[in-house]
């Protein structure tokens, strides 16, 4: 039996026990995880030191090493994150609806855990703790597969969590880590039909593409955001400037950052000089359509590729459009379905934009940066879904569940 088959069996054993755990039991396990992370912080930092030494030896970039690095502060922040998840309402057991059929059958639709959730991610060890805690709270066994760069950190963290869970009486196998981090086991994990109820990739576009292309288990595609801000002819231009600067430059590396600015021709001459200046001040380089380049001489020309790119950087494509319709058509063509915003003072423009733009989050007069589990009030998130099946936008605890129908009868037959 392969390592992965063994893990699969253990997951399937633990799943019904965790499914039946009370909110109190799950919260106790989360509390114990937080306590153990703080108490065994030294062991975590030691393991992390090994990963960092290896990374340096392999010539990893400073930015990636920073993502990989744990400090006492960062480990304590993870523990606090776990406690915050414990404090969230338990989604399991909610009766979502219920009705009685003419034949007397009483049907309720009840929220239940998915079962076993696989998470494939990259070199950030905090995902190990975050994902495990979210899965545990939502009653799901997690099977984690992190990047090989973080394997020692992940083994230390998963071991601490598993032992902590076991200490409170739930199966230690509620938190499972795939320690064999070869490409082959990753590929096998994507085909664990009958074990994984869903697989969630968390990471860059390459990882997500690979999972979508190779998985035979159900996948939730997350986190690709080619987001747009459209400045309508009626926009409050001061507001529009603040929104585009925020949407682009407040944190360019995240999926809800804006990548293209669309400006209605009627306001382009008035809006672009000041907005371009403000963006430049924020460190942003523009890639403009011919009209943008005419208004802002010296701007680099945007290519088709620019419109299609999620820069995740201090770069912004800018295009002047003739109409709201042209803006919507541009978004329809290039968007990844994540988040789009219109800045407008016109009722009908706001109505048409929100009705016709088919992205997970559509904003009027606000920054795209709000597409986030915390900002939506979900308390935490496992990712931002950019597919239409199951969940769209920020996925909190509730989006990590499914439902079942419970039907009570008195002998009904057909």
Q: Which of 85, 114, 131, 132 binds a second copy (CB under 8 A)?
A: 114
Strand partners, 285: 315
The answer to whether residues 198 and 219 touch, using CB atoms and an 8 Å cutoff, is: yes
Asked if 57 touches a second copy (CB under 8 A), the answer is: no
Site for a second copy in 303-342 (CB under 8 A): 332
Q: Which of 95, 205, 301, 406 binds a second copy (CB under 8 A)?
A: 406
- Between 41-57 and 151-167, two packed helices, what is the crossing angle to 10 degrees? 160
User: Nearer to a second copy by C-beta: 156 or 258?
Assistant: 258
- Find the part of the chain contacting a second copy (CB under 8 A) among 30-38, 118-126, 259-267, 354-362: 354-362
Helix residue ranges, H only, 190-264: 205-214, 237-249
Give every CB contact of residue 326 below 8 A, 6+ residues apart in sequence.
none
- Find the part of the chain contacting a second copy (CB under 8 A) among 101-109, 153-161, 162-170, 271-279: 101-109
What region, left, alpha or beta, does residue 344 occupy, with left being phi > 0 and alpha being psi -120 to 50 degrees?
Answer: beta
Asked if 367 touches a second copy (CB under 8 A), the answer is: yes
Quote the tokens at residue 223.
């986190």
Give every CB contact of residue 365 below 8 A, 6+ residues apart in sequence.
236, 239, 243, 341, 342, 343, 344, 350
User: Nearer to a second copy by C-beta: 3 or 329?
Assistant: 329
The answer to whether residues 118 and 145 touch, using CB atoms and an 8 Å cutoff, is: yes
Q: Which long-range contacts (CB under 8 A, 24 or more apart) does 4-8 make?
A: 4/178, 4/180, 4/185, 4/188, 4/189, 4/192, 7/143, 7/176, 7/178, 8/143, 8/192, 8/194, 8/195
**Residues 369-398: x/- map of binding to a second copy (CB under 8 A)?**
xxx---xxx---------xxxx-xx-----
User: Nearer to a second copy by C-beta: 20 or 42?
Assistant: 20
Cα–Cα nearest to 34, from 136, 122, 118: 136
Site for a second copy in 201-260 (CB under 8 A): 212-213, 216, 218-220, 236, 239, 242-243, 246-247, 250
At closest approach, how far in Å is the CB of 218 from a second copy?
A: 4
Asked if 25 touches a second copy (CB under 8 A), the answer is: no
**Residues 123-162: x/- map of binding to a second copy (CB under 8 A)?**
----------------------------------------
- Find the part of the chain contacting a second copy (CB under 8 A) among 13-21, 42-50, 175-183, 293-301: 13-21
Q: Which residues make up the interface to a second copy (CB under 8 A)?
A: 16, 19-20, 99, 101, 105, 107, 112, 114-115, 193, 197-198, 212-213, 216, 218-220, 236, 239, 242-243, 246-247, 250, 332, 350, 354-356, 358-367, 369-371, 375-377, 387-390, 392-393, 402-414
């Amino acid at each position: 039996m392969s390592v992965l088959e063994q893990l699969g069996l253990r997951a399937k054993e633990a799943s019904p026990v965790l499914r039946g755990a009370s909110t109190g039991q799950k919260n106790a396990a989360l509390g114990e995880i937080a306590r153990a992370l703080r108490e065994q912080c030294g062991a975590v930092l030691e393991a992390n030191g090994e990963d960092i030494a290896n990374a340096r030896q392999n010539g990893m970039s400073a930015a990636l090493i920073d993502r990989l690095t744990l400090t006492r502060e960062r480990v304590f922040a993870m523990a606090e994150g776990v406690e915050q998840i414990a404090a969230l309402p338990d989604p399991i057991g909610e009766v979502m609806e219920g009705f009685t059929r003419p034949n007397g059958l009483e049907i309720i639709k009840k929220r239940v855990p998915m079962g076993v959730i696989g998470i494939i991610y990259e070199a950030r060890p905090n995902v190990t703790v975050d994902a495990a805690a979210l899965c545990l709270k939502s009653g799901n066994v997690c099977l984690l597969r992190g990047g090989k760069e973080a394997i020692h950190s992940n083994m230390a963290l998963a071991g601490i969590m598993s032992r902590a869970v076991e200490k409170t009486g739930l199966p230690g196998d509620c938190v499972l880590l795939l320690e064999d981090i070869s490409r082959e086991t990753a590929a096998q994990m994507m085909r664990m039909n009958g074990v994984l109820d869903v697989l969630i990739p968390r990471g860059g576009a390459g990882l997500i593409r690979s999972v979508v292309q190779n998985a035979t288990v159900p996948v939730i595609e997350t986190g690709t955001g080619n987001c747009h801000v459209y400045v309508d002819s009626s926009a409050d231009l001061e507001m529009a400037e603040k929104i585009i600067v925020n949407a682009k430059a407040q944190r360019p590396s995240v999926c809800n950052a804006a990548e293209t600015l669309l400006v209605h021709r009627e306001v382009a001459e008035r809006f672009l000089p000041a907005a371009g200046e403000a963006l430049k001040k924020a460190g942003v380089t523009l890639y403009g359509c011919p009209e943008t380049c005419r208004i802002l001489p010296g701007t680099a020309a945007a290519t088709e590729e620019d419109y299609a790119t999620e820069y995740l950087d201090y770069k912004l494509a800018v295009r002047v459009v003739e109409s709201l319709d042209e803006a919507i058509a541009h978004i329809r063509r290039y968007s990844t379905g994540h988040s789009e915003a219109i800045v407008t003072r016109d009722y009908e423009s706001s109505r048409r934009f929100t009705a016709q733009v088919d992205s997970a989050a559509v904003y009027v007069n606000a920054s795209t940066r709000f597409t986030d589990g915390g900002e939506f009030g979900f308390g935490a998130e496992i990712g931002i879904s950019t597919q239409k099946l199951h969940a769209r936008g920020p996925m909190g605890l509730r989006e990590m569940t499914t439902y079942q129908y419970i039907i009570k009868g008195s002998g009904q037959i057909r």
